[in-house]
Amino acid sequence: GIQVEQSPPDLILQEGANSTLRCNFSDSVNNLQWFHQNPWGQLINLFYIPSGTKQNGRLSATTVATERYSLLYISSSQTTDSGVYFCAVGLNQFYFGTGTSLTVIP
Amino acid sequence: NAGVTQTPKFQVLKTGQSMTLQCAQDMNHNSMYWYRQDPGMGLRLIYYSASEGTTDKGEVPNGYNVSRLNKREFSLRLESAAPSQTSVYFCASESQISYEQYFGPGTRLTVT
C-alpha cells in the first residue's frame, strides 16, 4: 500500500499562533483529503485537495502532487482547533497517516 | 438530514461471539467504507463498496465480512470476535460530486 508520513507527530501552540502540518506520501494518488478528529472522536473533512491550493477561513491547504506532499496551514489558532489532524491519500482506497496531535493552549 | 449513522455506539463481546455493526447514510452517496482505528494510529480500511451490489477488500479485511444491503446501508460482521479486533470502527460515505468522505460517530468495540 501507499506509505503516508505526517509531521510533526505532536504540536503545542499558544492561542493565536500559526502552524504548518506536513503530509508526505510514497506514490502517485488521485485523491488526498485532510481530516480533523476532535477530542470526542468525531472526524470532520477539512479539504479534498489532490492538487493545488484551497482556503477555508483560517485554514488552507496546498498539495504538490508531483513532489508527493501536502501542507495544511492553520492561522490564528484557537482552542477549538485542538485534536488530531489526519492526511489520507489514495486511488481506489484511502491510506491514512498516523496524524499530528495539536494542542492549543489559551 | 442525519448524515452517517452507526449503531451501536459501544459493544463488549467475549472471544468467539459474533455481531453486526450497522451503518446508514441519507446523502444518496454511492460509495461507503468501513475503517478501524487503533490507539495512536490512523484509520485502516477494512472493506469498501463503490456502489450498491459491490464490495471490495481493503487493507485489513481478515476476520470481517460486509453486506451492502441497499444504497443507504452497509453493515460489517464479525463472525468470531478476537481480542485483536478491539478497536473503534468508523463507517464513511463519499460524495460522488465533491469526493469528500463523511464519517459516522464510530462504534467502540471491546473483545475480552
Residue B40 in this model has a pLDDT that exceeds 90: no
Walking along chain A (106 residues) 10 residues at a time, the average pLDDT comes out as 95 97 96 96 95 97 97 97 96 91 97
Q: How far is A99 from chain B (nearest CA, A)?
A: 6
Which residues of A fall within a CB distance of 8 Å from B59?
Answer: 1, 93, 95
Q: Which of A4, A35, A93 faces B48 most closely, judged by CB atoms?
A: A93
Mean pLDDT value of segment B77-85? 96
Interface of B with A (CB under 8 A): 33, 35, 40-45, 48, 50, 56, 58-59, 88, 90, 92, 98-103, 105-106
First to last CA, chain A: 40
Mean pLDDT value of segment B85-102? 95
Q: How far is A20 from chain B (nearest CA, A)?
A: 19
Q: What is the pLDDT at residue A1?
A: 87
- Taking a C-beta distance cutoff of 8 angstroms, is the pair A13, A103 a contact? yes
Mean pLDDT value of segment B30-44? 92
Q: What is the pLDDT at residue B41?
A: 79
Here the cell at position B82 is 478476537
Q: What is the pLDDT at residue A4?
A: 96
Strand, helix or coil for residue B85: helix
| pLDDT digits 0-9 by tens, B61-72 | 999 999 998 999
Residue B1 in this model has a pLDDT that exceeds 80: no
- Would you give the distance in Å from CA A104 to the centre of its chain? 16
A94, A96, A98, A100: best mutation site toward chain B, by most B Cβ within 10 Å? A94
Whether A42 sits inside 8 A of B101 (CB atoms) is no
Strand, helix or coil for residue B69: coil
Q: Which residue of A has its CA nearest to B41?
A: A98
Residue B101 in this model has a pLDDT that exceeds 90: yes
